[in-house]
Amino acid sequence: MPNSNGRMATQDAMNPKDVRHRRTSRSRCAPLYAGLTQVAQVAKVAAVTTGVSAGRRGRRGAPPPFDAAFVARWLQGSAAEIAAHRDFLTQLDAAIGDADHGVNMDRGFAAVATVVAAADGLSPGELLVQAGATLVLRVGGAAGPLYGSALREAGRSLGTASTFGLPELTGALDAALAGIVKLGAAEEGDKTIVDAWMPALQALRDARSAGAAAALHAARIAAEGGAAATTPMEARKGRASYLGARSVGHQDPGAASTSLLFGALERAAADAPPDG
C-alpha cells in the first residue's frame, strides 16, 4: 500500500494520465485514512477491478501456487508495509495507547523478514510457526503475543504440507483468528484487531468460489473497511478501554496493522511467478 501523505491535486489541473494515477492511489489509501463513506466508495471501485492481477497472467480466477515462497512473500511484504506505515501506526496508538505500536511492529516484522531470508527447507506451516515465535519474542506490548499466536496457529493449521490451496489458506486464517480471540478475549465490536480480521475472513469465505485473486482482494477491502469502522467505536478491550468514551473518534492501531497484513497477503498471491 503506498504512502498517502502527499497532497491531492485537483483533477482539472491534471492531464488524464495523472488523474488516473491519483484516483488509483486515493482508492487504495482511503480506507486507512478516511471515514466509512470513503471506504464504501473504495469497495465499489475495487469490486469492478477484482481479478485484474490474475488476468495479467492469463490465469483469471486460478489460484496461485501456495507454498513456502508464497508465505515468504507475504511475511516480507508485511514487513515492508509495516515499515512504510510505522509512523502512522504510532500516531494512531498515541491517541489511545502507548504510542509504540508502529515502532514495535516494525521491529518485530523486520526480525521476521530476517528469519524468512535465512530459512531454508521449511514448509509453509513451519515458516509461519517460526515467524510467530519471532514476533512473540521481539514485539512489545499486546501486539507481539497476539500476532505471534495468530501466525503460529495458522502454521499449525497448515502442518508440514509443502503446498496448499485456498481452502487451507482460509482455514489457516480462521485458526489465526481463533488464536487472537482466545488470547485477547475480544470479539467483533471491541475496537481491536478482531474488527479487521473477522470481516476479512468472512469476505474471503464468501468470495472463495470466484478464485484466489478475487477472494484475497475482497478480504483486503473488508479488512480496510473493518479498520476504518473502529473509529466511531468505544474501546472495550486493551489499554484504550481505560479511556472509555474518549476512545471514540480514533482508529484502532491493531486493526489498521491487520489491514496492512491482508494487503500484503493479496499482493503475495498477485506476485506469484507465472507457471512454466
Q: How many domains does the chain have?
A: 1
Overall average pLDDT of the 211-217 stretch? 96
Residue-wise pLDDT for 77-92, tens only, equals 999 999 999 999 999 9
Sorted by sequence, the CB contacts under 8 Å of residue 83 that are 6+ apart come out as 106, 109, 110
Q: For residue 78, give the nearest of 141, 136, 1, 152 by alpha carbon.
A: 1
Tell me, what's the pLDDT at 48? 33
Query: In this structure, is residue 24 part of a structural domain?
Result: no
> What is the distance, to the nearest Å, from the Cα of residue 225 to the centroid of all Cα atoms in its chain?
11
Which three-class secondary structure state does DSSP give residue 66? strand
Query: In this structure, is residue 225 part of a structural domain?
Result: yes
Q: Say if residue 17 is exposed, middle or buried (CB neighbours under 10 Å; 0-12, 13-18, 19+).
A: exposed
Query: In this structure, is residue 127 part of a structural domain?
Result: yes
Tell me, what's the pLDDT at 9? 37
Query: In this structure, is residue 191 part of a structural domain?
Result: yes
Tell me, what's the pLDDT at 242? 83
Residue-wise pLDDT for 218-242, tens only, equals 999 999 999 999 999 999 988 888 8
Residue-wise pLDDT for 28-53, tens only, equals 444 444 433 333 333 333 333 333 33
Overall average pLDDT of the 255-263 stretch? 98
Tell me, what's the pLDDT at 94? 95
Query: In this structure, is residue 137 part of a structural domain?
Result: yes
User: What CATH number should be reported for the domain holding residue 114?
Assistant: 1.25.40.340
Tell me, what's the pLDDT at 30? 43
Q: Which domain holds residue 46?
A: 31-270
pLDDT grade for 161, boundaries at 50, 70 and 90: very high
Overall average pLDDT of the 265-269 stretch? 96
Query: In this structure, is residue 3 part of a structural domain?
Result: no
**pTM of the predicted structure, to 2 decimals:** 0.77
Query: In this structure, is residue 12 part of a structural domain?
Result: no
Query: In this structure, is residue 13 part of a structural domain?
Result: no
